[in-house]
Amino acid sequence: MRGRELAPTLLRVLYLEDKRLWHSSPHLSSLPSFASKRSRHGGRRARRYSVELLDTAVDAQGLSDNDGSAQPRTVPLTIICGFLGAGKSTLVRRILTERHGYRIAVIMNEFGDTAMKLAKTINVSSPNDPTQQSEEVLELANGCLCCSIKDTGAAAIEKLMQRKGAFDHILLETTGLADPGPIASMFWQNEEFSMGLGRDIHLDGVVCVVDAVFGRQQMEEDHAADGIGESLRQIAAADVILLNKVDLVPPADADALEEMIRGVNPAASLYRTVRGEIDLKYLMGIDAYRSRQLLDETRKTITGQHGGSTHTHGHDHDHDCDNEHGHEHHRAPTHYELRGISSLQIDCPKLSAAQLDKLDEWIRTVLWEKQLPNQATGATGAGSIEVLRCKGIFVTEHGELHVLQGVRNLYEIAKVEEGEEELGLPDTGKLVLIGKGLHESVRSNLMEQLGIA
Ligand SMILES: Nc1nc2c(ncn2[C@@H]2O[C@H](COP(=O)(O)OP(=O)(O)OP(=O)(O)O)[C@@H](O)[C@H]2O)c(=O)[nH]1
């Protein structure tokens, strides 16, 4: 049996109200207080950061630029994309924890389940009315937001608008392997959208988070692959690019990567960030699409062209997304399948301290040596493994909770220290691996290493 497919996708709608937020997820609120860390970065210890609560005021004009115009007010929507592990959730989390005075709705599109969900859950609410806290989890049919935004995604936004009134801004975080072009086109110059949701929201811009450590490798692999891969598409589609994790690379490497990025998309604004820290006025309220539209219109007028816009956001990928009536359509391969990428989810029982060490050793071998421990290449189901992203939550026999976060060969397993008594520890842990060569033998090999039959 092959590694589990990358479905179902979870579309989560989170609310930020009344300038403050309240984490109801003990897992997330505990994440910044990591105690002991087993950080690995190709042999070096990774640096430790925590989510910072900033008080940067956003230029009010920046976020509510369409106020006061003759046009009815529509809520701007920003698409946040970026390759696996680049720092999208970190950015979103930072925006949600910042006191900027705006009500922001966040829609997350991610695959996987419990482990990833726990690792990413953010719940926000008004401290004046705890009943206001709200989170929705909607399952999308096929792990591809661009195929379902018209029905499930649009319905979620509609519900959001009805129940909560107008939002100041909507952030839509895509999966690490999503092509933002088709998603953007759903919200822009799309007749169906204009007649429906387009009355309430407008596309403000596409923000792409690029990993300063692995961005170069991702772009080079994309160039080497047949066709254009997702990381290049994401960069190409962006209005704003955040070169993130610059704390982990020498400035010369960041310069070289910046040059590569500029080669793909010279038009986007580019900023270097650590943990997505940037004044929000550079990301939100930028109105990139209205100015694009104006440019396109002007170009058409000058050149006399009237069809076939040359923008890069056309819905031009090769699978059929016409699912508007909810009927089954022939299932074309997803973005993940086309790249030979799958995910594998492994349930882990409560672990002893020795087993936790074994788990660390196992992850190190898989991530660094790209093979399973004690398994010769060529054995049944064995072969090269390439883990692009891993996340996990592990429970120990002593009631400790450990969280794994990994991007390629960089990973850390951190013990969650505070508030353990409130955690409502899950009975079992979970490991989610995303990458290539994730056959069923990976699961049995881990169980063997942990001494679990
Ligand atoms: N050192 C450092 N670590 C960072 C930075 N930004 C994010 N990280 C870490 O990188 C890892 C991945 O970050 P996420 O925000 O989960 O990445 P993501 O893009 O949402 O990941 P996917 O949704 O799986 O694609 C986490 O362990 C973060 O804490 C940064 O600027 N510097």
Give the pLDDT score at 407: 73
> In terms of residue numbers, what domain contains 266?
9-303
| 309 in any annotated domain | no
CATH of the domain at 27: 3.40.50.300
Q: Which atom of ligand 1 is nearest to the CA of 273?
A: 31
pLDDT band at 75 (very low <50, low <70, confident <90, very high): confident
Question: Over 70: is that where the pLDDT of 127 sits?
Answer: no
Do residues 154 and 33 both lie within one domain? yes
Beta-strand ranges (E) seen in 159-267 are: 169-173, 201-211, 240-244
Distance 293 CA to ligand 1 centre (A): 33
Do residues 358 and 438 both lie within one domain? yes
Question: Over 70: is that where the pLDDT of 445 sits?
Answer: yes
Query: Which structure tokens are listed for 428?
Result: 């079992």
Distance 131 CA to ligand 1 centre (A): 31
384 to each of 120, 373, 379, 430, 439, how far by Cα in Å? 29, 12, 11, 23, 10
Q: Count other C-beta atoms under 10 Å from residue 422's C-beta.
A: 10
Mean confidence (pLDDT) of the chain: 66
Distance 16 CA to ligand 1 centre (A): 21
ipTM, interface predicted TM-score of the complex: 0.99
The closest residue, in CA terms, to atom 9 on ligand 1 is 87
CATH of the domain at 349: 3.30.1220.10
Q: How far apart are the first and last CA of the chain?
A: 19
Give the pLDDT score at 429: 87
99 or 357, greater pLDDT: 357
Ligand 1 contacts (CB < 6 A) are: 47, 49, 82, 84-90, 110, 176, 244-245, 247-248, 274-275, 389, 405, 407
How many angstroms separate the CA atoms of 266 and 258, rounded?
A: 10
Task: Read off the pLDDT of each residue in 403-414 and give the average, rounded to a whole number.
Answer: 81
The closest residue, in CA terms, to atom 11 on ligand 1 is 85
Q: Which atom of ligand 1 is nearest to the CA of 412?
A: 27
| 209 in any annotated domain | yes
Do residues 175 and 47 both lie within one domain? yes
CB contact at 8 A, 42 and 370: no
50 or 244, greater pLDDT: 244
Question: Over 90: is that where the pLDDT of 87 sits?
Answer: yes
Q: Which atom of ligand 1 is nearest to the CA of 47?
A: 1
Burial class (CB in 10 A: 0-12, 13-18, 19+), 282: middle
Sign of CA dihedral 14, 269, 273, 218: positive
Give the pLDDT score at 212: 97
CB contact at 8 A, 386 and 339: no
Do residues 295 and 346 both lie within one domain? no
Do residues 267 and 381 both lie within one domain? no
Task: Read off the pLDDT of each residue in 104-131 and give the average, rounded to a whole number.
Answer: 44
pLDDT in tens, 367-408: 999 899 887 555 545 568 888 778 788 889 988 888 887 777
Pick from 7-21, 61-75, 427-441 the range whose average pLDDT is largest: 427-441
Do residues 419 and 299 both lie within one domain? no
Q: Which residues pair with 430 in a beta bridge?
A: 347, 393
175 or 357, greater pLDDT: 357
pLDDT band at 13 (very low <50, low <70, confident <90, very high): very low
| 319 in any annotated domain | no
Do residues 206 and 121 both lie within one domain? yes
Question: Over 70: is that where the pLDDT of 175 sits?
Answer: yes
The closest residue, in CA terms, to atom 6 on ligand 1 is 275
pLDDT band at 193 (very low <50, low <70, confident <90, very high): low
Q: Which atom of ligand 1 is nearest to the CA of 110?
A: 23
| 3 in any annotated domain | no
Distance 88 CA to ligand 1 centre (A): 7
pLDDT in tens, 239-282: 899 999 999 999 999 999 999 888 888 878 999 999 999 998 99
| Domains of the chain: total | 2
Do residues 39 and 150 both lie within one domain? yes
Distance 260 CA to ligand 1 centre (A): 21
54 or 81, greater pLDDT: 81
Distance 253 CA to ligand 1 centre (A): 19
Query: Which structure tokens are listed for 221?
Result: 């692999």
How many angstroms separate the CA atoms of 75 and 199, rounded?
A: 9
The closest residue, in CA terms, to atom 29 on ligand 1 is 90
Do residues 184 and 76 both lie within one domain? yes
The closest residue, in CA terms, to atom 1 on ligand 1 is 245
Distance 298 CA to ligand 1 centre (A): 40
Do residues 83 and 177 both lie within one domain? yes
Task: Give the pTM.
Answer: 0.65
